[in-house]
Chain A
Amino acid sequence: MNIDSLNTSRFLRNDFKPRLARCELIAVTPTSISSDLEFRNWILKQPEGETLLRCYQCGRCTSACPIAEIDHSFNPRLFLEKVILADESLAENQLIWTCLTCEQCEVRCPEHVKIPQILILAKVRGLVSGNTPETALDRARSILSQGRTIQVSEPMLKTRDKMGLPSLGNPPVKQLAKALKELGLAEKLENIKSIYGGDGDE
């Protein structure tokens, strides 16, 4: 029999929420599951977040992942399971920052679940608890203050000049700040302490 003709994906998609949740609850550690659906609902509302609902836990993502290959504790299928079960502990797990965003999982996913995007959203939720590498915070601060990820120095400008490359001016940082104001990112970045260590300054 041709497996494809069964159209298993549609069957699971229509029916899976209560069923999968019940059977998977037995398979995971119950103490780690929050009863609060807020995290899951937030993910579903974000761009591409609703692709989560297409996941039927086949595990192709994990078998495609180059990080899972060298570190068995990194398991994209399990990460998706946690989000499906509204387990927000994922946002505080440092492992999510070892996702390469290489999208190999997404390429191989039979349901085109936006897995790297869902992990990105989990990272965003982890910011308040400091689950953000210091380098990521530094780059973000630099983008807000300079409009670039790096500090442009005099020698860099001189080198461009010597090579005959045109001046690129300075990015309009005031405009950036105005567009981003309602997000409150600048204030957040002032108060966040990364759990990854480092002194917080470049």
Chain B
Amino acid sequence: MSKAIEYTYFPGCMIPFRLPHFELTMREVLSRLNIELVADEGHSCCPEPTTFTGVDFEAWLTVGARNIAVSESTGRDTMALCSGCFHTLAMVGHTLQSDSKTRERINKRLKRIGMEATGEVTVKNILHVLHEDVGLDKIRKSIVQPLKDISIAAHYGCHLVRPIEATHMDDAEDPMWMEDLIEVTGAKPVDYPDKMACCGAPISPSDEPKSFVLAADKLRKIRDAGADAIVLVCPTCYTQMEMQQKKAIEHLGPEFSLPVLYLGEMMALAMGMSDLVVNNARRYHRVKLQPLLEKMGVGK
């Protein structure tokens, strides 16, 4: 096999330490596609875009720009698995590039630590890498266990997609890259009303009941559309829609449950690496995966 294509991996906080099965499954999936993720110990928290921005926006820009500078020093494209990290890096990079006054102000601070950020580094999310860089044809060839007879709904979440001028995604209101990936695995993508609706997680620190109303509404719409499972990318959406699913749904009753897969888990299942998913299912999934896995013909 030819030499692996390398990306600078921006790990963030949530995925590597709270939800490491995200990193595990996606690293293995990417490895099958001849891609290697290289971490740089110079990176810190992105910082997260939902609360730190509202504490000190200048500090958010500065820490984000320092991370961009670290990325730029690696000479590779940077890929963040987490949607929050991706959003911050894409936004700060976009600001540095398009706003020269801000770039100069921030770089004065970075100069004190001997760094400089231009914003010219390419920051990608996992959909850019899989859909655009690798391409559907190559992924299709690596599918050995098609997820036949399974209907899956894509939840994109907000920060992966918006604002489009910084994220360079396909569409702000109706993105389709994840549906394309669902189709490639052999499953059937399910459309549902208000696909781009927020999971509610960002306001959980200030108004948890409201955040659950939004999550429950979203889960209900997906269930009513006939999906067997949800697939998503963002660890914060995962926490809200998977780990907190029961609590959220109790708000609107009557109860039901809907399995949630991380994108890397769905792809690992279709690529014949079901052990990676099965072995971590109990630890990282509160909604039982067993019925879904049986329907897929896994673990028989």
Contacts and interface: CB of A to CB of B under 8 A. Distances in A.
A140 interface: yes
A78 interface: no
Contacts of A163: 20-21, 23-24
B100 to A, nearest CB: 11
Interface string B62-106: 110010000000000000000000000000000100010010000
B59 interface: yes
B47 interface: yes
B206 A97 contact: yes
Contacts of B57: 46-47, 120-121, 124
A178 B114 CA distance: 11
Chain A, interface residues (CB within 8 Å), range: 35 or more
B50 A66 contact: no
B52 A143 contact: yes
Contacts of A102: 158, 162, 197-198, 202
22 contacts: A66-B197, A67-B203, A70-B213, A97-B205, A100-B203, A102-B158, A120-B54, A123-B53, A132-B54, A133-B205, A133-B206, A134-B205, A136-B55, A143-B47, A143-B52, A147-B44, A159-B20, A168-B41, A171-B44, A176-B63, A179-B115, A189-B55
Contacts of A152: 17
Given A139-B48, A165-B24, 7 more contacts: A96-B54, A98-B207, A104-B198, A127-B55, A133-B206, A159-B20, A171-B41
Contacts of B48: 139, 149
Interface of A: 46-47, 66-67, 70-71, 94, 96-104, 106-107, 120-121, 123-124, 126-127, 132-137, 139-140, 143, 147-150, 152, 156, 159-160, 163-166, 168-173, 175-176, 178-183, 185, 188-189, 196
B56 A178 contact: no
B102 A150 contact: no
A201 B203 CA distance: 20
Contacts of B214: 66, 70, 100
B43 A171 contact: yes
Given A120-B53, A172-B42, A143 B202 contact: no
Contact of B112 (A71, A97, A107, A178): A178
B13 interface: yes
B49 interface: yes
B210 A70 contact: yes
A101 B50 contact: yes
Contacts of B51: 133, 135-136, 139-140
Contacts of B95: 47
Contact of A179 (B42, B63, B213): B63
A178 B113 contact: yes
B110 interface: yes
B58 interface: yes
B16 interface: yes
A179 B206 contact: no
A107 B59 contact: no
A165 B37 CA distance: 11
B33 to A, nearest CB: 18
Interface string B167-211: 000001100000000000000000000001110101111110010
